[in-house]
Amino acid sequence: MRRLLQLRAQGRLSRGHVRLAGECLGVSERTVWRWLAQAEADLGAVARPGARSGDRFEVTAEVRVLLAYWRGNASAVHRQLVARAGAEAGEPATVVPGGAPADAVPLLDPVPSLSTFLRAVRRDLTAGERTALVAGPEAARAHDVFGKRPRLWRNHTWEADHVQAPLLVDADGDLVRPWVTWFIDTATKTITGTAVTPGHPSRASILAALRAAILRSGPYGPAGGIPERVRVDRGKDFLSKTVLGMLGTLGADVDDLPAYSPHLKGTVENLNRSVDRMLFAALPGYTVTPAPRRVKNAADSPPPLTFTEFTTEVLAWTRWWNTDHHPNSLQGQTPIAAWQSDPTPLSDIPEADLWGLMLEDAGRLRKLTSHGVRWRGRDYIGAWMAGQAGRSVRIRHMPHHDHEIEICDPSGRHLGTAHLADAATPEQLDALRRARTARARRLREEAKKAEALRRQRYAPATTPTAPHRLGAVTAAEADLELDAAAHSDLAALALPDLIAPAPPPEDWNTPASLRPAGERRPGAGEETP
């Protein structure tokens, strides 16, 4: 507009200039002539051509608070603004059910129409702010803009996480939801290590996946080595003393990301979403998609996978991801091709040394006896212990794997493996599991019945009345139940004062409040007669 005004002041403005400006701005030639007329009348309109003149309604801080009160319901806010203005003008009071207190509602004069108010909310509040009012501050992250980290080199940064498969697998007769623990290289998108756990993962799952990620021999390679940095969330298993000590020994820095910040480890989060869409959704027993309403025959539904079959599927998909998948960020390369084309030198560690680092230390030296070595109240023995009773040893073990332990000498040299001496047979373990299951089922049933007795039922109301409690009980029934409850309370049945305690010995320094009347004990420096 300023340039067009300068041309007009110099007498050089032509229709071609106006037409060209309209084409650049995406408006008609007539609109540009109107903007020129407005700019000549008001020089302030030059900065904002076409802006509406006059005051317009804007969302204030008080209105924002009211929008937060109504969880983003702009129509309800407008109704309360209208009711507040009407009450101030002396009109019949209109109460908005569930509305905010009257002193928290701003008084607008005049109150804008509903369409104007909704248009102002859409204009003055961003999409993220409107989403946060409805679904909470965390939901606004979907409308945020995040920067992208620069691509560095292989093994510079790994990201680790657990993901639960939304399907049921058969693990030794029990239907469980398995978990997958993996490490992924952020530069090449290569999955370096994977571990599958039937139940909830632990630090043992992390150590197994980390061992597979570091080793490059056998079935694990070719990707691997020691990373420079590992990003994890605030899971207690990732921040356990064992895992942090293992990574610290390798010289890898651990980035403990803040809570509720999945965007800070987007590579592994994208891997979790990808495996759900590319693998889990195609497996039998997937539970995210609702089942059809009518099932012709339950026998027609495919049986759940066994844990062995599920692990095979996960490892096969991991190999496919590394060797055949083409992520967009790799410009047509597969992750393993991007890994192999990176000239960055790798740092490896011998498998024998890595084995010792993956085990927890029991904390103190123990003695080999004729019964083996005792740990956590149980004896462990091994054939190699013959003739070595009395030797001081150190115990190292995999977390939660208490069926066997590794024995080392005080300097850390591995001596051998020891197994539980009196381990239960598989038949005993099955019987014990069935007994525990039956006991847990009985306790749940008893708790459910107790909750049913405690539950209070009330009659429905169609008018504002006091609640009416249901459930008729006779006076005799109430007395009988109260008497049974009183006799079952052991604390009430206790009689601590039935047998008086014996008097304290003479050589005790008894407090004055507990001495018999008239008795005096010798003080400091006095002799007892």
Lowest mean pLDDT among 53-67, 77-91, 125-139, 511-525: 511-525
Shared domain for 9 and 132, answered yes or no, is no
Same domain, 279 and 396: no
Residues 103-126 pLDDT 10s = 888 888 888 999 999 999 999 999
Going by C-alpha positions, the residue among 62, 71, 63, 125 that lies closest to residue 98 is 71
Q: Tell me which residue range forms the domain holding 17.
A: 2-46
Percent of the chain surpassing pLDDT 90: 20
245 and 221: one domain?
yes
CA angle, residues 326, 327, 330, in degrees to nearest 5: 95
For the stretch 416-423, contacts whose Cβ atoms lie closer than 8 Å and that sit 24 or more positions apart, written own/partner, are 416/382, 416/384, 416/385, 417/382, 418/372, 418/373, 418/380, 418/381, 418/382, 418/385, 419/380, 419/381, 419/382, 420/378, 420/379, 420/380, 421/371, 421/372, 421/378, 421/379, 421/380, 421/381, 422/378, 422/379
Q: Select, from the ranges 43-52, 142-151, 351-360, 435-444, the one with the highest average predicted confidence (pLDDT).
A: 435-444
pLDDT of res. 290 = 55
User: Quick check: is 38 in a domain?
Assistant: yes
Three-class SS state of 354: helix
Note whether 166 and 265 are same-domain residues.
Answer: yes
Q: In the prediction, which pLDDT does 121 show?
A: 92
Identify whether residues 210 and 289 lie together within a single domain: yes
| Residues 240 and 117 reside in one and the same domain | no
- 6 token code pair: 């300068």
Of 103, 118, 143, the domain-final residue: 143
Residue type at position 440: A
Q: Are residues 120 and 230 in the same domain?
A: no
In a domain? residue 245: yes
pTM above 0.85, yes or no: no
Q: Residue 347: inside a domain, yes or no?
A: no
Domain count, the chain: 4
The answer to whether residue 523 is domain-embedded is no
Which residues are CB-neighbours of 62 under 8 A, at least 6 positions away?
Answer: 104, 106
Strands (E), 349-498: 360-367, 373-375, 378-381, 392-397, 404-408, 414-420
Q: Given a cut of 70, is residue 517 above it in pLDDT?
A: no
Residues 179 and 261 in one domain: yes
Question: Regarding beta strands 229-232 and 158-164, do their DSSP bridges make them parallel or antiparallel, or are they unpaired?
Answer: parallel
My answer on whether 135 and 248 are in the same domain is no
Please identify, among 441, 461, 488, the residue that sits at the C-terminal boundary of a domain: 441
Q: Do 166 and 311 sit in the same domain of this protein? A: yes
Per the domain annotation, does 474 fall within a domain?
no
What pLDDT score does 529 carry? 47
Could you tell me if 195 and 284 lie in one domain?
yes
Confirm whether 529 is domain-assigned.
Answer: no
Any domain includes 51: no
Q: Answer whether 74's CB lies under 8 Å from 113's CB.
A: no
Count of H-run helices and E-run strands, the chain:
16, 13
Q: Spell out the residues 6+ positions from residue 128 whose beta carbon is closer than 8 angstroms to its own.
A: 140, 141, 142, 143, 144
Query: Among 24-33, 327-336, 394-403, 415-424, which stretch is predicted with the lowest mean pLDDT?
Result: 394-403
Rounded Cα–Cα distance for residues 169 and 18 (Å)? 71
326 located within any domain: yes
Q: In the predicted model, what is the mean pLDDT of residues 391-404?
A: 78
Token pair 């030059």: residue? 46
Instruction: Please give the residue that has the higher pLDDT: either 167 or 149.
Output: 167
Give residue-wise pLDDT tens across range 25-68. 888 888 888 888 877 777 766 666 766 655 778 888 999 999 99
Last residue of a domain, one of 341, 370, 398: 341
Are 381 and 327 part of one and the same domain? no
161-206 pLDDT, tens digit each: 999 999 988 887 888 899 999 999 999 999 999 999 988 888 888 8
Q: What is the 3-state secondary structure (H, E, C) of 467-509?
A: CCECCCCCHHHHHHHHHHHHHHCHHHHCCCCCCCCCCCCCCCC
pLDDT in tens, 293-324: 554 455 566 788 888 999 999 999 999 999 99
